[in-house]
Each structure stands twice: as structure tokens, then as C-alpha cells.
Chain A
Amino acid sequence: MKKTSLNFALTLLLGLFLSFFLPWWSGMLAALIVGAIVRLRKAAAFVVPFSAIALLWLVNAYWLSSANDFILAEKITVLLQIENNLFLLFLVTGLIGGLSAGFAGLLGNQINQLFFTKTE
């Protein structure tokens, strides 16, 4: 449980930090690095980085868009043909961020197992 929280917090913080310098895949990189350091078991290896980056993307997107009355977000729902469904737009944004980080987290976890974990 401790490891779960640690992975979550580190992924979130590192993701935020890297996003100032790196493109959209900064969340993937954060999940990968943290996954390689803080090992998680089974589904958690995917779910934890997924949640961390999904949350980061969601909060960041909401913070940007709400300050502007969601003017562009509304238009993007038309563009993506999910007419005026802002909730769905945020959901998709979180999902995309989360999915990318989830797989990268899995990869980090495998790297950890392969190179840093001693076989029992």
C-alpha cells in the first residue's frame, strides 16, 4: 500500500515537473522512470501510473479551460463530434493521458523486474 502511494505521488510530481520541458509524452517518461524505481505488483503496475497521469491531465486541462469559460473546449467537442459533451471531452483527455502512462508504467515495472530485482 505504501509503495502504491509512493509510486502515485512520484509519478504525479515527476510528470508535472517534466511537462515544463518535454512534449505530451512527459507523463509516459515519468511513469516509466517511477515504475522502474518503485516496483508495483500485478494490476497496480498499470492502474497507479494511469491514475496519476490521468489526474494530472484532468486537473491541468480543467484549470486552463475553466479560466476561459471553456470557450475552446466547447468548440473541440463539436470538432470531435461529441457535441457539447464537455464531460466526455475531459474523460477522453484523462483516458489518453492515463493509457499512455499506464503502459509506460508497465514497461518501467518490467525493467525493474529484469534489472533491479534479485531473483528469489
Chain B
Amino acid sequence: MIMLWKFSLLMKWLKFFSALLATVGIFYALNSKFGQIPPLGKFLSPHQGFWQNDVSEDLLIQDVQLPGLGSKVEISFDEHLIPHVYATTNEDLYRAQGYLTAQARLWQMEFQTYAAAGRLSEVVGSSALNYDREQRRKGMLWAAENTMAFMMQDEEIATYVKAYTAGVNAYINSLTMGQYPVEYKLLDYAPEEWTPLKTALLLMYMTDMLAGGDNDLEFSNLVNEMGKTQFDFLFPDFFDAIDPVIPKERDWSSWEVEVPEVPEGAYPVDPKTGFMTKPHPDNGSNNWAVGPEKSVSGNPILANDPHLGLNLPSIWYVMHLETPEKNTFGATLPGALGVISGFNEFISWGVTNATRDVKDWYQIQFDDDKSHYWHDDQWKPTTLRIEEIKVKVEETFYDSIYFTHHGPVSYDESFKGNGGHSTGYAMQWIGHEANNNQRTFIELNAAQNYDDYVAALSHYTAPAQNFVFSSTEGDVALWIQGKFPNKWEGQGKFYLDGSNPEHDWQGFIPQEHNAHVKNPERGFVSSANQHPVDEQYPYYVFNDGYDMTRSRVINDFFRSKEQFDIEDFKALHNNNYNLLAAELVPVFLRELNTDGLSAEALDVLELVKNWDFNNDMDVEGATIFQLWWPKVRNAIYDEIEAMESHVRYPFTYRTYELLRDYPDHELMDIQETEKIETATDLINAAFLDTVEEVVELRSQGRSLAWVDFKSTYVGHLLQGLPAFSRFNIPIGGNGGIVNATSKNHGPSWRMIVEMSDPPRAYGVYPGGQSGNPGSKYFDDLIDIWAKGDYLSLDLTRRSDESPAHIKQTLSPQQ
């Protein structure tokens, strides 16, 4: 009996432990993230997982108490979820902006600051470590810290930034785990507190995107490889055909200008390989405005469309922000205060990127322990900053970055350096300057006239922008605003000698000498990332990859007739004219030998010949051109492709000039062959290859219609996660076209404002107001945008009178 009893007890314990093990095991398995697979228990649970996010804002938005408010803030959301916000004071307004932005876009606004700060490894693991190191070694976090400290010294701005921060945090603290945005659940992490540093980081994110490019090291390598004469021939500072932002008629002769002298002595010449990621070369924009004489109604009209990567959630969040003192409407950046591109009752403004060479590289000579670097004939101390990069489920990575007076030594033996222990490359970048750019936007939001606009711009350092302006007073203007180093001729085009004090930045262009134009005789202002000025501008400017197509199409459009209205503006936003093709195709056809072409080839040729050079959706000619032209370009630059050091091709317009004017240039030769080729050979060979490719595509049943070939998509911010992205968007255009929509890049916000009283305005962007992939407002604007339509942006809408789609009241805490 006793034996049996003992045996049965043993069995019970055994069973108990098996059940315990199974339960713990399944808990662990369902609570943990394995590779890309989210923790399935958490993720699929209906009260904690994604099912909670399968909801649209109609059912979600409710009245809340927002601690710190002075008085009630009323919000009326329209049918596309654009919030019309009515607050009593600025402080209440920005607190509400923080709360509402977080309510709409929490995951995105935090993720972008992680990206800026080089903290993605914390969230996605070691696959992002290289990216994070790049961000830190660019000085992103360091500079954001400096900017935050500087910005918070401005008491008024500090008050607003703190209110915004508190607003975001009030929203975060109100969330249960089940209410976290779905991306947190996918990656299995939680939102952390918002801080003023994150606002500074978001602004750095934009600076990096828009002013983070340069070609210094590539240009130096090219000079090494091909000699200065050939380089200068391939990379002229200006083209004859430029139509600069500031009209050529502008006379600068009244300015007293001092430009530093070109120093004696040589540039460093060691070839550099291995580079950090660069911003997308198409990051750019269009803006323009016509004055009263050129406007059908007699009111100035202004338009803006910034071209950025097409992402979901969109980079922009549209808001109408009103207090008794100001009434502002437009596109905001989640994470930053106020409206960035928009209008109020008196003025409207828009931005395009004003590319200039504001990032320079200095070769640094260290001593043995990197505690000093050689400068001005003496050893000067470096500053060591150890960056802590947390890595999900792995050990924290510590990166030692040495700083010189130029800036951080981004490249050294521990990171993409190739000069051994004692050599590094330091970056001097305008993005590193502590700044109060946030004040510019706060002031612009309330500006009432040209003088207010100019005063607002004076705080602004980077990323340099072409700020287009128009007012109900009838002014139109454009300031190219940023803080620009005053360089000696040639300074910073190639990398510089970090030990030579004459290679240092010698000062800045005075604010009042930043190129600008007000009410020009031609009656309109415009910018499209082209040359800011022509050679007459007294400060040093060189071709930094400026636009040569959109700018000319836009300016030709405004020269084509006397007066314009809003419909003309809409048509120009959606203009698909491919000027590059219109200039290149005649050269191609001139050189093409049609004797003995096959029927298929003749058929392909007809498609190009009959094309009107508009990249409209259904045309096949645009596709043929897009296949043909890169083949010609690549054949020309086979010599450059073969170079060992990191280099780049000449800019597109120069390539066109080469084909047009120098068909026998030595670069036309294909090195591999015995024969000495000319442009004629390259164009013909490329055409035959194109025909072959077309035949192949057709045999696969692929459509050659431009829209299908291009297949534009808007990708989710998280590595374009297909589940949350939109594909095959029906829209024409391409990079270099006014409708700059390429595969995954294009007009990220389109706005048109007529300065009537009150202003009449239209806007749209390829996304939706909600950041929740489960919301019907997540991507509801994409189709409107693709069609070339707009939403009406009504500045006179009041909380009490208009029918609100959804209402929300934020009340002070009782």
C-alpha cells in the first residue's frame, strides 16, 4: 500500500512539473520576439496586441483633461482628420499641438528622433549599428544637444518647447499597452518620454536630410585620377543655360564685400575610399509666387511642393492653429512646433532646399594617442566623446569619437578610415552650429508683412532654404536663407588640409548679403534647387548638383503669358514635361543610324519620335527614354566607373552638353575595345540594347506604359514594410520634372495660396493624417494627391459654426 501511495505521489509531482514546464515554455515562446517575428502572444492578443489598433479615430478621439492648460482648447477635425485648433494663448496652443501630434503620429515622431540620434539599434538590433555609428560620427547627437541648450536660453521659445513636450508626454502617459501604436508591438518596445532634445533632434533630422550632402572627397579623388584640367572641364561651376533663383538682372554692385584670399599651398591628395550614406540626391522642392500684376485676380499667389522620400506615415502633418493673435494653417513636422510651410491671414510662405557647400572635410594628423592633432604648426588637444550605442539583446557598443575645432573626426582607423592610425577626416558642417531655427517658424506663423518675414528669417541657420513669400499687401519675395561660410574661391570643393589655418572657415556671409529678391520686375519669384545666383554674386558659389530642368520649365511657364490663376498653379504642380528628354532626344535622333534596323527597333524608335516629352501615365516613349539614356551615360563614364577610389559621375546637364557639343571627346571611347568610339557609337549601341530589353520586357508580358514601368510606391517608414505601404500609385512625372514623382520620391506636400482677404488655399500630401496603419485616415489622401486634386484649407473655419466631423476638447485639469 505504502509503496503504491508513494508511487502515485511521485507521478503527481512529475505531472505537475511537466505541466509547469509546458506552461512556462509556452509563456516564454509567446512573450518573446524571435528574429523578425513579433512576440505572438502579445501581438495576437485582442486586448494587448494589434487588434486594438484595428480602429479609426472616429471611435477613438475623446475629450481629455490636459494638465498645465490655462484654458480650454477646442479642436474640430474635418473629414480628412485635419485638426482646426482654437487656443487662447500660444503656450496652450503648443501644448495642444504636442498632444494632438502625438495622438496622431506618436510612433513616427519618436522613431525619427531615434534615427536622427543614432539609436535605431536600440529598437531593431545590431543590423542598424553601422547606421547609428554614422549618425553619431556625423555629430548628430552632439549638435542636437548644443542646439537644445542654445534654444532653451530663449525664454519664450523654451516656454513653448516645454509646453509642447508636456503635451506629448500627457498623451504618452495616458496610454495602456494595448493603445500603443502597432509598430511598438511589432518591434516589442515602448514609447519613452519626449524631451526638448527630441525636438532639436527632429530638426537635425531635417538638416541632415537637406544639407547633409557634399562631394568633396569624390571631387578630390577625381582630380587625383584625371587631373585638374579634365576635372574642371567636366565640373564647371556654372552653365550658360542657368536660370538662377535670384534673377540674373539683380545688381549686386552696391554691396561692400570682403572675400578671403585663396591661400598658397597644396590640397591633401590621399585617395579616400569608404563613405557614409548620403541623403537622396532628389531631395529638393519647387516653390514660386506671382505678384499682383501677374495674377488674374490681382492678389499674389504662392505655391510650394517639397520633394522628399514618399513615406507612410507622411513626414508632414497638416494643422490649423489659431489663437486670438494669430491664425495659421499648413504643414507641420511631427516633433517641431508651429507650421513649417503654410499661411496665415496676412502672409504665406514656402520652402525649397537651398543647396550650398556647407559641409567640408579636413584631413587630420593625430599624435600617437590621438590626444592631439597638428594645426597651425602646433599640437592642439582633441576632445574625446564616447558615444554609447545600446543594441537590442546584445551588448552596448561604445564608439570613441575625437573632436577637433573643425568638428568630429568622422572617419578614422576605427571607421571607414584608410590613412592608418594617425590620419582622420574631420567634418565641419553648418548643421553643427547651435541654432534657434525653431524661433524662425514660430515668428513666421504670426508674421504680418515683409518686414516680419525678414526678421523671422534672421534666426535661421540650416538647412538653408529658399523661403518664398507673398502677402495680402501685394509683396512677393524670396530670400535664400541660411548661415553660409564666406569661402575663398575653391574652398571646400575638395577636401582640405586640417593643419593649415588658412583652410579653416574664415567667417560667414553677413545676413544682409544673403541673396534675396523682393518684387522683381518680371513679376514672379521661383526656386527649384537650381543655382542660387549667377557668377555676378560677389561670394563664392559653385555647382553643387543644382537643378537644370524644373527651374527652367517653371520660369518658362511664367514667362509664357501675362497673368496666372490658381488653376494654372495646379497645372504647373502636375506638369510632366521632361525637359531633359526634350533636349537629349533630338541629339540621340541626330546620331542614330536607322539603316538596317529591325521592324521591332523601328517600332521602338517610333514610340520615342511620337512622344511629346510629357511623362504622362500611359506613354511608352517615356519608358524607352528612361531605358536608353542611362545606358548612354554609363557607356560614356566607363573610365570613371573603373576608377578604384570613390568618385562620382558628372552632373546630368554636363553629360547632355558633352553629347551635344563634344561627341568626339576622349571619354566617349569605351576602354575595353580596340576601336575609338564617339557619341554616335554609344548612342547607337545603347539603342540596340534598349530594343533588346524592350523585346524581353514585352515577352514577359510587362507593360511599357510609364506608370507601370515607374510603379510609384509610398513605403512605410520601417524599411518599407510592404504590409503598411501602398504600391502602384497611378501618377506620372519623374525626378527632374516639375511633378517630381519618381519611384519612391516626390512632392511630399503641395500647397497653393491666393492672398485674397481671407486667403484661399489648397493643399494635399501623399499620405494621411493618421499614423495608424489600421485607420481609414492612414493613407486616404494618396489617391487625391495622385489625381492632382487638393483639399481646401479653410482659414475661416470656426469651432462653433462649422459642422465638425469629430470634436475634441482639451480642458485644464480640474
Q: Which A residues have a C-beta under 8 Å from some C-beta of B? A: 19-20, 23-28, 32, 57, 60-61, 64-65, 67-73, 75-76, 78-79, 92-93, 96-97, 99-100, 103-104, 106-107, 109-111, 113-114, 119
Contact = CB atoms under 8 A, between A and B. Distances in A.
Interface stretch (B120-128, B223-231, B582-590, B768-776): B768-776
Contact of B54 (A19, A25, A26, A68): A68
A57 B41 contact: no
Given A61-B46, A64-B52, A119-B5, A71 B722 contact: no
Nearest to A65: B54
Contacts of B288: none
Given A72-B774, A107-B23, A119-B5, A92 B51 contact: no
Given A20-B47, A99-B30, 8 more contacts: A24-B41, A64-B55, A68-B55, A72-B772, A73-B54, A103-B26, A114-B12, A119-B5
B40 interface: yes
A57 B40 CA distance: 13
Interface in B20-76: 20, 22-23, 25-27, 30-31, 40-42, 44-56, 59
A29 to B, nearest CB: 10
6 nearest A-B pairs in the assembled complex, by CB-CB distance: A72-B774, A24-B45, A60-B46, A79-B723, A72-B54, A78-B723
6 contacts: A26-B47, A60-B47, A72-B53, A93-B46, A96-B44, A111-B16
A24 B19 contact: no
A114 B13 contact: yes
A75 B22 contact: no
A28 B29 CA distance: 13
Contacts of B51: 60-61, 64-65, 72-73, 93
A113 B22 CA distance: 17
A93 to B, nearest CB: 5
Contacts of B52: 64
Contacts of B774: 68, 71-72, 75
Contact of A19 (B8, B47, B56, B724): B47
Given A24-B47, A96-B41, A106 B773 contact: no
B313 to A, nearest CB: 14
A23 B180 CA distance: 13
Contacts of B40: 96
B50 A76 contact: yes
Interface in B741-791: 772-776, 778
Chain A binding surface SS class: helix
A92 B44 contact: yes
A110 B20 CA distance: 9
Interface string B591-602: 000000000000
A106 to B, nearest CB: 4
B26 A24 contact: no
B45 A97 contact: yes
Given A75-B723, A114-B13, A68 B23 contact: no
Contacts of A113: 12, 15-16
Given A60-B51, A72-B50, A97-B44, A28 B27 contact: yes
A76 B774 CA distance: 9
A25 B8 CA distance: 31
Contacts of A107: 16, 19-20, 22-23
B48 A23 contact: yes
Contacts of B45: 23-24, 27, 57, 96-97
Name, among B44, B48, B49, B56, the residue most crowded by chain A CB atoms within 10 Å (CB to CB).
B44
Contacts of A67: 55, 59
Contacts of A100: 26-27, 30, 41
Nearest to A92: B44
Contacts of A97: 44-46
B56 A68 contact: yes
A76 B41 contact: no
A24 B56 contact: no
A51 B778 CA distance: 35
Contacts of A23: 42, 45, 48, 177
B182 interface: yes
B296 interface: no
A38 B32 CA distance: 31
Nearest to A113: B12
A57 B49 CA distance: 11
A23 B481 CA distance: 52
Nearest to A117: B12
A93 B45 CA distance: 7
B384 interface: no
Nearest to A73: B54
A76 B724 CA distance: 9
Contacts of B19: 103, 106-107, 109-110
Name, among B12, B47, B56, B722, the residue most crowded by chain A CB atoms within 10 Å (CB to CB).
B47
Nearest to B26: A103
A68 B51 CA distance: 10
B721 interface: yes
Given A23-B42, A25-B41, A71-B776, A103 B22 contact: yes
A119 B373 CA distance: 83
Interface string B1-14: 00001001100110
Given A23-B48, A71-B776, A114-B13, A78 B27 contact: no
Contacts of A27: 45
A17 to B, nearest CB: 11
Contact of A119 (B8, B13, B16, B182): B8
B131 to A, nearest CB: 23
Contacts of B16: 107, 110-111, 113-114
B46 A110 contact: no
Given A72-B182, A100-B30, A110-B16, A28 B23 contact: yes
Contacts of B41: 24-25, 96, 100
B49 A24 contact: yes
Nearest to A79: B723
B721 A79 contact: yes
A73 B20 CA distance: 33
B714 to A, nearest CB: 14
Contact of B773 (A57, A64, A75, A92): A75
Contacts of B46: 57, 60-61, 64, 93, 97
B177 to A, nearest CB: 6
Nearest to B58: A68
Nearest to A32: B23
Nearest to A120: B8
A96 B30 contact: yes
Contacts of B31: 24-25
Given A19-B47, A106-B23, A113-B15, A75 B724 contact: yes
A71 B27 contact: no
A57 to B, nearest CB: 5
Contacts of B12: 110, 113-114
B442 to A, nearest CB: 37
A110 B21 CA distance: 12
Interface in B165-216: 177, 182, 186
A41 to B, nearest CB: 13
A76 B44 CA distance: 10
Contacts of B5: 119
B773 A72 contact: yes
A64 B48 contact: no
A96 B43 CA distance: 10
Nearest to B40: A96
Contacts of B724: 75, 79
B55 A25 contact: no
Contacts of A70: 54
Name, among B27, B50, B182, B772, the residue most crowded by chain A CB atoms within 10 Å (CB to CB).
B50
Contacts of B723: 75-76, 78-79
A11 B623 CA distance: 63
A7 to B, nearest CB: 16
Contacts of B13: 114
Contacts of A24: 30-31, 41-42, 45, 47-49
A119 B1 CA distance: 12
